[in-house]
Amino acid sequence: MTLLRQRMIEYMQSRNFTPATQRSYEHYVAEYARYFGRSPELLDTEAIQQYVQHLATSKKQSPETINCCISALKLLYLKVIEVPWTDEYFPRVRRQSKLPIVLSQEEVMAFFDHVPGLKNRAALMTCYGAGLRVSEAVALKVTDIDSKRGLIRVEQGKGRKDRYAMLSDRLLDALRRYWRATRPTHYLFPSWKPDRHMSAASLQLACREAAAHAGLRRRITVHGLRHAFATHLLESGTDMRIIQVLLGHSRMETTTRYAQVSPQVVAATVSPLDRMDRPVKTKRPDRPPKR
């Protein structure tokens, strides 16, 4: 391991970057150095632009992947190497604005009717019923379920933050039935090894199978259940700030995306035209004087 790589790892650890982010950033910087065959310390801003162009044209990488690479290089140069550059040397690629796919409540019911396996069903119901990310759901411990207060403790979620999620009566009932049947001791959704939790990939596979068996032709992911959770709360009149807290979003801008995917909210919004007390009078064109 090079000294520069060690310094980068130590910086990310000191800032509590998640292990997944650390591995991702290490990978991008290593690929960048391998492409030029030189240490990043010997490269300049032109090399960064050349590499980004290579990712976009030759590698056909998505804007999300390219932006993640840019974030890794920005951290390396500005925080670790501490070169006197500014943010303008790390322009991000513009992404296409796409609205997430959101299931209707009827589709969610049909989806759960086709989930294979008791554990998969309980885990996916937790993702929808509490709005959890897939990584948060699979890592839940038995002790994270606070049935007395109706809460789920999410330990070290995205951004290394703890928070509480809602535990509805129906979800609690489903989790109790699952617990009585399987008796997990540590992780709520254990892997075949009792000391490890189930993988996110296995839950994603169960989600795809359920969507296919339910006849849902759209691409449904576990994260789509989280989108559905937020959208359905919004449609029922829940305040956006409460939804922000439940989802664990740091910025309100992230939460307000769900207002764009709710046609019921759009349809139920009263136009200012309909709020007018009197009908609008149109001005008639002037008639020529009679002769």
Q: Which residues form the catalytic set?
A: 133, 158, 223, 226, 249, 258
Rounded to whole angstroms, how far apart are CA atoms 142 and 192? 16
Residue 145, token pair as written in the block: 């379920």
List, in order, residues 6 or more apart from 103 with CB less than 8 Å away. 111, 216, 220, 224, 225, 228
Dihedrals phi, psi of 243, to nearest 5 degrees:
-60, -40
Q: Can you say how many angstroms the Cα of residue 145 is from the centroid of all Cα atoms in its chain?
A: 22
Residue 127, token pair as written in the block: 């993702």
119 neighbors 198 (Cβ within 8 angstroms): yes
Residue with tokens 């509490």: 130
Residue 200, token pair as written in the block: 């996110």
CB half-sphere exposure, 106, CA atoms < 13 A = 1
153 neighbors 164 (Cβ within 8 angstroms): yes
